[in-house]
């Protein structure tokens, strides 16, 4: 019998997204009511359709994207998969630890990470992060983790084979 451990998945808090989804649904519903009750009033129709478009369609699209991006890390025997889709093999990771109030990942070499073209990440931005965050290249603040940086760091290190 093999000892297969399930991956560790760290998801940021989603409570605010749920509240925002409820608010968007209420605003879109109000827009539908305005349209249904004021079919002869052009101004009310424009306001109602705008509310449905902005809060219903636009808000829904935005919330789906934010919900997907709230998955920060997936850690398994192969390494760490970041929320942006980039993968870090354990051989490319120097250490995982606590950088003040954040979980930090120090890379042995940034080449493997940068070859995946993560959005908004450059050699310069990694160097700036390393200078700012006690030598770590990639950091996740506690407010995004939904747990303390110490607990997140211990959980990630425990998954390393």
Residue 140 has phi, psi (to 5 degrees) of: -130, 110
Question: With contact defined as beta carbons under 8 Å apart, do 79 and 88 qualify?
Answer: yes
DSSP string, 67-109: HHHTEEEEE-SSEEEETTS-EEEGGGEEEEEE-SSEEEEEES-
The pLDDT of residue 8 is 87
**pLDDT 10s digits, 14-29:** 888 999 999 999 999 9
Neighbours of 92 (CB within 10 A): 17
**pLDDT 10s digits, 142-159:** 988 888 999 999 999 998
**pLDDT 10s digits, 86-119:** 899 999 999 999 988 999 999 998 888 998 888 8
Residue with tokens 């700012």: 132
DSSP summary character for residue 139 = E
Q: What is the 3-state secondary structure (H, E, C) of 29-58?
A: HHHHHHHHHCCCCHHHHHHHHHHHHHHHHH
Question: With contact defined as beta carbons under 8 Å apart, do 101 and 140 qualify?
Answer: no
**pLDDT 10s digits, 40-93:** 999 999 999 999 999 999 999 999 988 887 888 999 999 999 987 889 999 999
Kind and range of the H or E run holding 20: helix 15-37
Rounded to the nearest angstrom, the gap between the alpha carbon of residue 139 and the centroid of all alpha carbons in its chain is: 12
């Amino acid at each position: 019998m093999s000892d297969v451990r399930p991956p560790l998945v760290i998801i940021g808090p989603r409570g605010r997204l749920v509240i925002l989804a409820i608010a968007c649904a209420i605003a879109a519903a109000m827009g539908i009511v305005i349209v249904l009750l004021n079919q002869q009033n052009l101004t009310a129709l424009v306001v109602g359709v705008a509310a449905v478009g902005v809060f219903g369609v636009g808000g829904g699209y935005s919330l789906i994207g934010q919900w997907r991006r709230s998955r920060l890390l997936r850690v398994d025997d192969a390494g760490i998969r970041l929320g942006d889709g980039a993968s870090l093999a354990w051989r490319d990771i120097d250490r995982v630890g606590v950088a003040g109030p954040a979980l930090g990942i120090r890379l042995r070499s940034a080449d493997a990470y940068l070859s995946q073209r993560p959005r908004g990440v450059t050699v310069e931005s990694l160097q700036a992060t390393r200078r700012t965050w006690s030598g770590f290249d990639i950091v996740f603040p506690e407010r995004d983790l939904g747990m303390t940086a110490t607990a997140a760091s211990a959980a990630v290190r425990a998954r390393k084979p």
